[in-house]
């Protein structure tokens, strides 16, 4: 997929594999690439697309979190553009470092015909980390990196381009029809904290903001508000079920959920684990 300009010098390419977005932000000093796709081979195509833009050289990389579909192209970009800084939240970088050397064992039972690409990739972890916020200077514009709190993972970050009124949210929200526009409630998620993190994100947006999800089409603030509220309903449903003593094994079938149940197994398990004792009633198991 080629890049499309969605805001002033903010280009997004939506790739069919994982329906994942890669974004390029242009400035006087060069280009900042946000997420690098799912394998070294896939990233080689992205590099060609970036060069076809003719907008300058890549001077930095941002990983919105540690999952492979957002960072396994880091090494390919380093090969193409040299030792450019790779930015990530400190928790995401720690998770990346822990995974180095294990790429060949990635999901060996995966039916994806391109899973071999993932296993053949050597992950290059982020080397420029922060805890709360960082500013990247592109010369004539600043790009803000903000950790709004935990949600999809412990190390989610938001990329804000203030002068373009654009925000890139990684997998804190998801539009992709491949998952029925359901956020990624995976084994590292924080479903009870996620709505509060998105409240911080909402504070970084306006009614005119361009909002880029990790997967799927570019959306607006209204979409962000609706998905935040749905995640909030999920969190409150978890609290209600646990408060009534519904066992975790029965919670998925008992609750009235804002997203398809088939995506919520980890959300329920993680939510029950993260609830304080005061919000649980026996028996829960």
Q: What is the pLDDT of residue 7?
A: 98
Report the C-alpha gap between 26 and 269 in whole angstroms: 41
Q: What is the pLDDT of residue 278?
A: 81
Helix axes 40-53, 74-81, angle to 10 degrees: 50
Average of per-residue pLDDT across 130-154: 98
Report the C-alpha gap between 59 and 198 in whole angstroms: 29
Report the C-alpha gap between 38 and 171 in whole angstroms: 14
pLDDT tens sequence across 9-58? 999 999 999 999 999 999 999 999 999 999 999 999 999 999 999 999 99
Report the C-alpha gap between 129 and 132 in whole angstroms: 10
pLDDT at 1 over 70: no
Q: What is the pLDDT of residue 277?
A: 83
Average of per-residue pLDDT across 67-80: 97
Q: What is the pLDDT of residue 285?
A: 53
Distances (CA, A) of 117 to 31, 40, 73, 166, 203: 26, 7, 11, 32, 39
Average of per-residue pLDDT across 244-262: 96
Q: What is the pLDDT of residue 108?
A: 54
Contact 225, 209 (CB under 8 A): no
Contact 30, 17 (CB under 8 A): no
Q: What is the pLDDT of residue 270?
A: 98
pLDDT at 83 over 90: yes
Q: What is the pLDDT of residue 283?
A: 66
Domain residue limits, the chain? 4-279
Report the C-alpha gap between 200 and 194 in whole angstroms: 10
| Fold topology of 4-279 | Metallo-beta-lactamase; Chain A (3.60.15)
- If phi over 0 gives left and psi between -120 and 50 gives alpha, with beta otherwise, what is residue 56? left
Q: What is the pLDDT of residue 280?
A: 76
pLDDT at 167 over 70: yes
pLDDT at 281 over 90: no
Residue of 204, 196, 124 whose CA lies nearest to 166: 204
pLDDT tens sequence across 90-138? 999 999 999 999 887 776 566 788 888 999 999 999 999 999 999 999 9
Report the C-alpha gap between 253 and 250 in whole angstroms: 6
């Amino acid at each position: 997929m080629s890049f499309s300009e969605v805001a002033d010098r903010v280009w997004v390419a939506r790739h069919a594999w994982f329906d994942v977005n890669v974004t390029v932000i242009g400035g006087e000093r060069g280009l900042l690439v946000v997420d690098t796709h799912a394998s070294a081979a896939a990233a080689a195509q992205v590099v060609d697309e970036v060069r076809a833009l003719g907008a300058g050289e890549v001077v930095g990389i941002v990983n919105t979190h540690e999952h492979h579909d957002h960072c396994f192209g880091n090494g390919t970009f380093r090969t193409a553009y040299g030792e450019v800084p790779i930015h990530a939240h400190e928790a995401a970088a720690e998770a990346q470092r822990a995974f180095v050397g294990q790429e060949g064992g990635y999901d060996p039972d995966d039916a994806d015909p391109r899973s071999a690409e993932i296993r053949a990739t050597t992950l290059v972890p982020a080397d420029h980390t922060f805890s709360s916020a960082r500013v990247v200077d592109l010369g004539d514009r600043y790009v803000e990196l903000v950790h709004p709190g935990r949600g999809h993972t412990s190390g989610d970050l938001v990329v804000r381009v203030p002068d373009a009124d654009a925000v890139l949210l990684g997998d804190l929200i998801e539009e992709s029809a491949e998952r029925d526009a359901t956020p990624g409630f995976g084994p590292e998620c924080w479903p009870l904290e996620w709505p509060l993190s998105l409240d911080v994100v909402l504070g970084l947006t306006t009614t005119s903001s361009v909002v880029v999800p990790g997967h799927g089409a570019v959306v607006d603030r209204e979409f962000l508000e609706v998905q935040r509220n749905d995640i909030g309903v999920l969190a409150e449903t978890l609290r209600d079920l646990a408060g009534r003593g519904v066992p975790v094994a029965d919670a998925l079938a008992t609750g009235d959920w804002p997203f398809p149940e088939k995506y919520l197994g980890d959300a329920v398990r993680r939510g029950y684990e993260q609830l304080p004792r005061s919000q649980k009633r026996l028996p829960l198991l």
